[in-house]
Amino acid sequence: MSAIEPFDTVDLIRTKRDKGKLSTAEVSWLVDAYTRGYVADEQMAAMAMAILLNGMDREEVRDLTLAMIATGERLSFDGLSRPTADKHSTGGVGDKITLPLAPLVASFGVAVPQLSGRGLGHTGGTLDKLESIPGWKANLSNEQMRNQLESVGAAICAAGSGLAPADKKLYALRDITGTVESIPLIASSIMSKKIAEGTSVLVLDVKFGSGAFMKDLKRAKELAKTMVALGTDAGVKTSALLTNMNVPLGLAIGNANEVRESVEVLAGGGPADVVELTLTLAREMLSGAGQPDADVEKALKSGQAMDTWRAMIQAQGGDPDGPLPRAKESRQVLADRDGVLVEMQALPFGIAAWRLGAGRARKEDPVIHSAGIDLNVKPGASVKKGDLLFTLSADEPERFDRALAALEGAYRIADNGTPLANTDPLIADHITAA
């Protein structure tokens, strides 16, 4: 005999359609009933659209997040000898920050359980980048992860399918119904997985700009505030930085080349923007974990963070000294005039790297680890005609034309002037619990 359901789905859809408020019991039933297949996809699609159009208040977003967490497993790091701190980035072009950041923070005795994903579309995935390293494996059981956190301090691995399965189903539905861009839905989707992961400190890197999910700072700020409130309500010490994604981060866009750049940062060098963001996020995570005075800059210069990186890679079967793949073919793009580089838009560079093979169009596609773009200059640089601007790399030369097509109009050299994308600072704001 089937159980009697306590609500009628259509009543709940009507409530949200008419700008009403859903109760805790209604939200938790809806999410559970959708996950077990009682609420149909078309009903949930109508609900997602009503939420996108009419929003949700703080209690409803909290209820939605908790209901999604309740559909799956919840990890716990209780009993670890180290405090835990995690970071989540909403994703951008050239965003390899997790790679130097996790070992840097772990080198201060904090456990960094970094459950990561693979890339889809123009933003890269942390696991794809690390899989450029010979032998490195993304899959760890919960027990292996716990052991690695205890012994090394940092583990970057694939998120199992057990965390918030309702989110997985709902995200796939949002993707095909034009309902991805709703702040309550994005915030609950991200935070359900992060809270279920069981960290005690969470630092969010919420990106804004052409290469980000949120194009403008105002909406990015609203998303950040919503997520910080959700984390705080769930007992996680949560804060957020709003960071600029109008230009690619660093000089490398791809997989193996982003690992190379991360290792430069761990060796005390690397591009200024990658170093600044790594240091700022590390300070924020360590301060949340009770070490506000940790000298993170020194830990990069002294090799302390590099030692943890090497141990972290080796613990997952990787060879930190192994050769990273190099593409068979490359194509240089040169300045066609003297002047100042005033613009370099993140989104087209992300699309071009993807077309070179660095990203995937469908979940099941492989990525080509050696493919990508290496920038030689960033906005603000003075260039002379014939100077190298950037180099494209791919295994198949047929890929260059489509990548170059994506880059038409994506960068600009002017006689003089202020670089457009540099008018926003790299770190535009810092949000803490209200």
Q: Which two tokens stand for residue 420?
A: 């457009």
Is 189 one of the catalytic residues? Answer: yes
In sequence order, the 6+-apart residues with CB closer than 8 A to the CB of 67 are: 27, 28, 30, 31, 32, 166
H/E stretch holding 427 reads strand 427-431
Tell me the closest approach of the beta carbon of residue 296 to ligand URA, in angstroms: 27
Closer residue to ligand URA in complex, CB, 185/389: 185
Given the residues 122, 146, 169, 193, select the one marked as catalytic: 193
Residue 384 CB neighbour total at 10 angstroms = 10
CB 413 within 8 A of CB 339: yes
Q: Rounded to whole angstroms, what are the CA distances from 428 to 123, 238, 283, 330, 380? A: 21, 18, 16, 35, 19
The three-state secondary structure class of 409 is coil
CB 340 within 8 A of CB 382: yes
* Cα 250-255-257 angle, rounded to 5 deg: 55
Query: Which of the 8 DSSP states describes residue 342?
Result: E
Strands 427-431 and 372-375: what pairing? unpaired
Given the residues 189, 210, 239, 370, select the one marked as catalytic: 189
User: Tell me, what amino acid is at 315?
Assistant: A
* Chain residue whose CB lies nearest ligand URA: 189
CA-CA-CA-CA torsion sign (73, 79, 80, 86): positive
Residue 119 CB neighbour total at 10 angstroms = 21
By the criterion CB under 6 A, which residues form the site for ligand URA?
Answer: 171, 185-186, 189-190
Closer residue to ligand URA in complex, CB, 7/171: 171
Closer residue to ligand URA in complex, CB, 185/312: 185
Given the residues 62, 174, 207, 225, select the one marked as catalytic: 174
Closer residue to ligand URA in complex, CB, 193/310: 193
Strands 388-394 and 339-344: what pairing? unpaired
Tell me the closest approach of the beta carbon of residue 360 to ligand URA, in angstroms: 16
Closer residue to ligand URA in complex, CB, 38/171: 171
Closer residue to ligand URA in complex, CB, 50/375: 50
Given the residues 87, 88, 310, 369, select the one marked as catalytic: 88
Tell me the closest approach of the beta carbon of residue 337 to ligand URA, in angstroms: 39
Is 88 one of the catalytic residues? Answer: yes
Is 355 one of the catalytic residues? Answer: no
Given the residues 86, 95, 167, 233, select the one marked as catalytic: 167
Nearest to 108 by CA among 297, 270, 260, 256: 297
Tell me the closest approach of the beta carbon of residue 189 to ligand URA, in angstroms: 3
Is 167 one of the catalytic residues? Answer: yes
Tell me the closest approach of the beta carbon of residue 213 to ligand URA, in angstroms: 6
Is 273 one of the catalytic residues? Answer: no
Tell me the closest approach of the beta carbon of residue 36 to ligand URA, in angstroms: 21
| Residues known to be catalytic | 88, 167, 174, 189, 193
